[in-house]
Chain A
Amino acid sequence: MSDLRTEAVEGSADGVADGAGSGRLRRLRAPRTVAAALVATAVLVVAGALLYDVIAVRAGQPARRWRAQIVDELATRHLDDLWVLVGAGAAALLGGWLLWLAIAPGLRRWLVLRPYGGTSAAVDRAGIGHLLADRAAALAGIDHLRIRVGRRGVRVSLAGPADPASVQRQLREELDRVGLARPLRLDVRTAGGRRAGGDAGKGPESDGAAAEGPAADAGAGPGVVG
């Protein structure tokens, strides 16, 4: 029980934006605690060392070797020096990554459910994949099944004599039962390229790649199931 209790907290301390009135969709945002602690520690160490040495020098002591060396390097190395360029590239990459952490919402494995009363909830994408896989396992005529749950849509590819349209109907029913705040697109296709009509045409801005990409990189998609 203790692992679930810690999980209840660590998932996100400030994960759910509150203050959103009823009806407005809440958005999950990761608190970025670890990144913040790391950056704070790094700045703390650098600023602390620098402050200590500056005060020591003002008090009449010689500067530490490391500071004299850094100042010397900065004053002599030119901008086209390899190490300067490597350092600048690393700083730019790190800065871009921190900026991404600051802007991206995070918590990509959770999909928000419709709130009910004072309770808001989110279900993990792999869980939705499990529900769909279990439902599909009860259907006849499916030899092989692959379900990818993205953040905007579900992609199901199946092999076997089953009719994709009827599979789609069944899975759509299962998906609607989950009660997501923002319904997922459902795209069922067979290995031969036969595709279920109707629902699949729902999203003209079909972002199939976007739906399957996150499942792969977040590792939340159930991958090969069935």
Chain B
Amino acid sequence: MRRVIVNRVLLGAAGVVLLGVGVLVLAGGLDLYRRLGVHPPESWPLTSPDQPVVSARTRGRWVSSTWWWPTVIGGLAVLLVGMVWWLVAQLRRTGLSSIAVPTPGVSGLRLRVGARALEEALETGTAVLPEVERAGVRLVRAPGHPRLRGAVRLTPGGDPAALVEHFEDGPRADACRSLGLPELPADLRIRVLQAAPAEPRHRRTRRRRQSRVE
């Protein structure tokens, strides 16, 4: 399952629960129903500011039933296990240690290439592209197929579109060809550095900033 979807659904669920309880208590406590002239349905909870948060009637409603405590314990246990799973999913490393390489025509041979070797080859291949100041590449887990994730810093005036083309036709194509991989999608995060501003302008900027503060 995709982590981003799970995270967002569960975060949304937690948010809805907190928001719902908070708004319900606020509406009752500030007596909004009476002030706004709204008549909530009969079974609506927490309508009067004079009632306790958890009334004795609410507390005693199910406690005497035989199913209550097993249900509470079971529900809490399920919640606990689910939260452990969710937490572990966040802490799991996204990086891969190796990638499977197809071996066509050879049966019984399974070949894996270390991720670090691939990453280093791609890094050096990217770093020598024009206008690249620094480059970092990681091989990461992704649904379906491993992906490449690169962070590239361009020199001032660098051309991001040209970098994408150079990367696609250069290091990535080389890696796919030499490993015989059918696909190895990549995501690049590109930053562009700024040329050092001319000295007099810089001073002027400073002064303007100061005068604005005063």
Contact = CB atoms under 8 A, between A and B. Distances in A.
Interface of A: 1-9, 11, 13-18, 29-33, 35-37, 39-41, 43-44, 47-48, 50-51, 54-55, 58, 71, 74-81, 84-85, 87-103, 110, 113-114, 116-124, 126-128, 130-131, 133-135, 137, 143-144, 177-179, 222, 224-226
Instruction: Name which of A50, A95, A119, A179 has the most chain B CB atoms within 10 A of its CB.
Output: A119
Contacts of A134: 156-157, 194-195
A31 B197 CA distance: 36
Contact of B77 (A36, A44, A51, A87): A51
13 contacts: A5-B137, A8-B149, A8-B150, A9-B95, A11-B149, A13-B94, A36-B7, A37-B91, A85-B30, A95-B20, A118-B168, A120-B187, A127-B192
Interface of B: 2-4, 7-12, 14-26, 28-31, 46, 48-56, 59, 69, 72-73, 76-77, 79-80, 83-84, 86-87, 90-91, 94-95, 119, 123, 134-138, 140-144, 147, 149-154, 156-161, 163-165, 167-169, 172, 183-195, 197-198, 201, 204-205, 208-209
Contact of B53 (A13, A37, A74, A123): A74
Contacts of B48: 79
A36 B149 contact: no
Contacts of B184: 118
Given A95-B19, A121-B164, A224-B205, A55 B73 contact: yes
A84 to B, nearest CB: 6
A88 B140 contact: no
B140 A35 contact: no
B44 to A, nearest CB: 13
Nearest to B202: A226
Contacts of B147: 18
Contacts of B195: 130, 134, 137
B149 A79 contact: no
Nearest to A179: B161
B80 to A, nearest CB: 5
A47 B15 contact: no
Given A75-B59, A88-B25, A122-B190, A39 B14 contact: yes
B194 A133 contact: yes
A35 B169 CA distance: 38
Contact of A31 (B4, B123, B208): B4
Given A47-B76, A226-B201, A130 B156 contact: yes
Contacts of B134: 1, 4
A16 B187 contact: yes
Contacts of A102: 8-9, 11-12, 15
Contacts of B53: 74-75, 77-79, 84
Given A4-B151, A5-B119, A102-B8, A95 B16 contact: yes
Contacts of A71: 54, 59
Contacts of A76: 52
A78 B11 contact: no
A16 B187 CA distance: 8
Given A58-B73, A95-B17, A51 B135 contact: no
A30 B205 CA distance: 35
A30 B151 CA distance: 16
B157 A131 contact: yes
B76 A50 contact: yes
